[in-house]
């Protein structure tokens, strides 16, 4: 059974699932930020996935990035696999804008996170579920 790292659970909410990954919304209000987490225990690095899983992750990542681009029209979409704090494999997808607080630098450590209110978080979660609904085999979280 898949087990999510407690830090990812604490810092994000489940939006839904694709065949390989959970899609999670980061609770930081500063940036539109989704996190893809492959549902495979013990995987820390991209190269540890099977070739088929690597291809599936790339497909899911590109699909999520395309949805972000379509609905948010950012200046850039940053996709990153960092594991210095949370070693469980996960891919950050952050829509960046020239007017955001950290532009043009990285978001990590630039400013303290700004937490969404519970209502704002649920509203954004529902919005992402609507935007992601057209993706093949997307299952929204209840």
CATH label of the domain that carries residue 25:
3.30.428.10
pLDDT-derived band of residue 113, with 50, 70 and 90 as boundaries?
confident
Instruction: Tell me the per-residue pLDDT of 64-83, one tens digit each, with 9 for 90 and over.
Output: 999 999 999 999 999 999 88
pLDDT band at 111 (very low <50, low <70, confident <90, very high): confident
Tell me the pTM: 0.96
Is the predicted pLDDT of residue 99 greater than 90, yes or no? yes
Calculate the alpha carbon distances from 16 to 6, 28, 37, 125 in Å.
18, 18, 11, 9
In a domain, 58, yes or no: yes
% of the chain beyond a pLDDT of 90? 90
* Residue 131 in domain: no
User: Is residue 61 in some structural domain?
Assistant: yes
Residue 18 has pLDDT above 90, yes or no: yes
Q: What is the pLDDT of residue 22?
A: 98
Residue 96 lies in a domain: yes
Looking up tokens 């978080």 gives: 121
In this prediction, residue 12 has a pLDDT band, given cuts at 50, 70 and 90, of: very high
pLDDT exceeds cutoff 90 at 84 = no
Q: Is the dihedral of CA 115, 116, 121, 127 positive or negative?
A: negative
Cα–chain-centroid distance for residue 89?
12
Determine, yes or no, domain membership for 137.
no
Is a pLDDT exceeding 90 seen at residue 24? yes
Helices (H), 3-116: 6-11, 51-72
Q: Is residue 126 part of a domain?
A: no
Virtual torsion, Cα 7, 8, 14, 15, nearest 10 deg: 150
Asked if residue 84 is part of any domain, the answer here is yes
The number of distinct structural domains making up the chain is: 1
What the block records as the tokens of 14 is 């489940």
Rounded Cα distance between 85 and 112, Å, is 16
Whether 133 maps to a domain, the answer reads no
């Amino acid at each position: 059974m898949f087990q999510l790292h407690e830090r990812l659970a604490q810092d994000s909410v489940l939006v839904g699932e694709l065949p390989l990954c959970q899609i999670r919304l980061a609770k930081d209000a500063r940036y539109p930020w989704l996190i893809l987490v492959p549902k495979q225990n013990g995987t820390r690095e991209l190269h540890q996935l099977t070739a088929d899983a690597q291809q599936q992750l790339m497909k899911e990542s590109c699909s999520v990035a395309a949805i972000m681009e379509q609905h948010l029209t950012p200046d850039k979409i940053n996709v990153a696999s960092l594991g210095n704090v949370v070693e469980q494999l996960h891919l950050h997808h952050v829509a960046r804008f020239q007017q955001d607080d950290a532009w043009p630098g990285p978001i990590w450590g630039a400013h303290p996170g700004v937490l969404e209110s519970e209502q704002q978080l649920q509203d954004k979660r529902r919005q992402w579920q609507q935007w992601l609904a057209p993706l093949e085999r997307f299952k929204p979280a209840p």
